[in-house]
Amino acid sequence: MKNNQSKAESGQWPWRILVVLFCVVVWGGLFAFGDYFRQFTAKTSFSRRLASDTVQHDTSSTITRRFVLGGTGGAVLGILLVIRDLRTRKCDDDNA
């Protein structure tokens, strides 16, 4: 029983890593390119102008910095989701 359980558990790690990477890419992209999206989707002219000014003064280093900050937040979120999944599985295994 333990051997089958450990094999199933080891098969879950690629999915957990993908969850973290997905959160990193999505949050990093949202942080890096959020002003580009807001420039066209903002409801008020003030928000559009503010986003447009930010986009005009963007450099590759500021985009990279925002991607890293967003990716860090995404990594934390992904890791918390994985920890929650591990705890839930452990509780389910203890109750079974």
Domain range for 34 is 18-90
The residue among 93 and 52 whose pLDDT is bigger is: 52
The confidence score (pLDDT) of residue 92 equals 64
45 is a domain residue: yes
Cα gap 79→64, rounded to integer Å? 22
- Contact, 20 vs 73, CB < 8 A? no
Domain annotation covers residue 35: yes
| Full-model pTM | 0.74
Mean pLDDT of 76-95: 83
**What confidence tens digit (pLDDT) does each residue in 19-78 have?**
999 999 999 999 999 888 888 888 888 888 888 888 888 899 999 999 999 999 999 999
13 located within any domain: no
Query: According to the model, what pLDDT value does residue 1 have?
Result: 47
For the chain, how far is it from start to end, CA to CA, in angstroms?
12
- Sign of the dihedral defined by the CA atoms of residues 52, 57, 63, 69, in that order: negative
7 domain residue, yes or no: no
Number of domains forming the structure of the chain: 1
